[in-house]
A and B are shown apart, each in its own frame.
Chain A
Amino acid sequence: MNTLIAVAYLLAAVLFILGLKQLSSPKGARNGNFTAALGMVVALAATIPLLHFTSAGLAVVAIGVVIGTLVGTVGARMVHMTAIPQMVALFNGVGGGAAALVAVAELLRLGVHPPFAEVFPSVFSIVIGSISFAGSMVAFAKLQELMTGRPITYPGQQIVNLLLAATIVGFAVAVLAIASIPFSFLALMVLALVLGVAFVLPIGGADMPVVISLLNACTGLAVAASGFTLNNFALIVAGTLVGASGSLLTKLMSDAMGRSLGNVLFGAFGQVRAGVTAAASGGQARAVRSASAEDLGTLLAYSQRVIIVPGYGLAVAQAQHAARDLADVLEKRGVSVEYAIHPVAGRMPGHMNVLLAEANVPYEQLKEMDQVNDDFKNADVALIVGANDVVNPAARTTPGSPIYGMPILNADQAKNVIFMKRSMRPGFAGIENELMYGPNTVMFFGDAKDSLTKLVSAVKAA
Chain B
Amino acid sequence: MTNELLNELTFFVLAIFVGFEVISKVPTILHTPLMSGTNAIHGIILVGAILIAAGANSPVTIVLGLVAVTLATTNVVGGFVVTDRMLEMFKGRQATKK
A34 surroundings in chain B (CB, below 8 A): 84
B68 surroundings in chain A (CB, below 8 A): 64, 98, 101-102, 105
Known pairs A36-B40, A252-B31; A47 contacts B51 (CB<8 A): yes
Within 8 A of B (CB), among A386-419: none
B67 surroundings in chain A (CB, below 8 A): 64, 97-98, 101
Within 8 A of A (CB), among B65-98: 65-94, 96-97
Contact bitstring A201-232, B, C-beta under 8 A = 1, else 0: 00000000100110010011001101110111
Contact bitstring B1-21, A, C-beta under 8 A = 1, else 0: 010110010011001111110
**What is the distance, in angstroms, from A68's C-beta to the closest C-beta of chain B?**
2
User: Please, how many angstroms separate the alpha-carbon atoms of A85 and B61 in the complex?
Assistant: 33
User: Please, how many angstroms separate the alpha-carbon atoms of A95 and B75 in the complex?
Assistant: 5
Total A-B residue contacts, Cβ distance less than 8 Å: 389
Task: Tell which of A73-81, A428-436, A450-458 binds the partner.
Answer: A73-81
**What is the distance, in angstroms, from B73's C-beta to the closest C-beta of chain A?**
2
Q: Does B40 lie within 8 Å of A349, measured CB to CB?
A: no
Q: Per a CB cutoff under 8 Å, which of A61, A77, A234, A256 touches B54?
A: A61
Q: How many residues of B contact A (CB 8 A)?
A: 84
User: Please, how many angstroms separate the alpha-carbon atoms of A98 and B50 in the complex?
Assistant: 11
User: Please, how many angstroms separate the alpha-carbon atoms of A348 and B38 in the complex?
Assistant: 15
Q: Does A26 lie within 8 Å of B29, measured CB to CB?
A: yes
Name the CB-closest residue of A to B56: A57
Contact bitstring A66-99, B, C-beta under 8 A = 1, else 0: 0111011101110101001101101110110111
B19 surroundings in chain A (CB, below 8 A): 20, 240-246, 248
Q: Per a CB cutoff under 8 Å, which of B32, B47, B93 touches A85?
A: B32
A30 within 8 A of B: yes
Within 8 A of B (CB), among A82-125: 84-85, 87-88, 90-92, 94-95, 97-99, 101-102, 104-106, 108-109, 117
User: Please, how many angstroms separate the alpha-carbon atoms of A51 and B50 in the complex?
Assistant: 8
Task: Tell which of A146-154, A296-304, A356-364, A440-448 binds the partner.
Answer: A356-364
User: Please, how many angstroms separate the alpha-carbon atoms of A64 and B12 in the complex?
Assistant: 29
User: Please, how many angstroms separate the alpha-carbon atoms of A51 and B26 in the complex?
Assistant: 39
Q: Does B50 lie within 8 Å of A61, measured CB to CB?
A: yes
**What is the distance, in angstroms, from B65's C-beta to the closest C-beta of chain A?**
5
Known pairs A26-B29, A54-B57; A68 contacts B39 (CB<8 A): no
Known pairs A33-B80, A104-B64, A357-B93; A26 contacts B34 (CB<8 A): no
User: Please, how many angstroms separate the alpha-carbon atoms of A216 and B23 in the complex?
Assistant: 15
User: Please, how many angstroms separate the alpha-carbon atoms of A108 and B53 in the complex?
Assistant: 13
A37 within 8 A of B: yes
Q: Does B34 lie within 8 Å of A23, measured CB to CB?
A: yes
Within 8 A of B (CB), among A117-144: 117
**What is the distance, in angstroms, from B20's C-beta to the closest C-beta of chain A?**
5
Q: Does B87 lie within 8 Å of A65, measured CB to CB?
A: no
Name the CB-closest residue of B to A94: B71
Q: Does B80 lie within 8 Å of A30, measured CB to CB?
A: no
Residue among A77, A102, A227 with max Cβ neighbours from chain B (10 Å): A102
User: Please, how many angstroms separate the alpha-carbon atoms of A103 and B76 in the complex?
Assistant: 18
A343 within 8 A of B: yes
User: Please, how many angstroms separate the alpha-carbon atoms of A63 and B71 in the complex?
Assistant: 12
A354 within 8 A of B: yes
Name the CB-closest residue of A to B72: A98
Q: Per a CB cutoff under 8 Å, which of B26, B41, B49, B92 touches A19?
A: B41
Q: Does B4 lie within 8 Å of A231, measured CB to CB?
A: yes
Known pairs A76-B78, A77-B85, A101-B64; A241 contacts B53 (CB<8 A): no
**What is the distance, in angstroms, from B11's C-beta to the closest C-beta of chain A?**
5
Q: Does A101 lie within 8 Å of B93, measured CB to CB?
A: no
Q: Does A64 lie within 8 Å of B87, measured CB to CB?
A: no
User: Please, how many angstroms separate the alpha-carbon atoms of A405 and B9 in the complex?
Assistant: 41
Q: Does A244 lie within 8 Å of B86, measured CB to CB?
A: no
Q: Does A360 lie within 8 Å of B11, measured CB to CB?
A: no
Name the CB-closest residue of B to A221: B42
Q: Per a CB cutoff under 8 Å, which of A51, A52, A235 touches B45?
A: A235
Q: Beyond A81-B86, A109-B61, A117-B5: 8 further Cβ-contacts under 8 Å?
A: A13-B15, A36-B37, A47-B47, A224-B12, A230-B48, A353-B29, A357-B89, A363-B94
Q: Which 3 A-B pairs have the closest CB atoms?
A: A68-B73, A244-B19, A64-B69
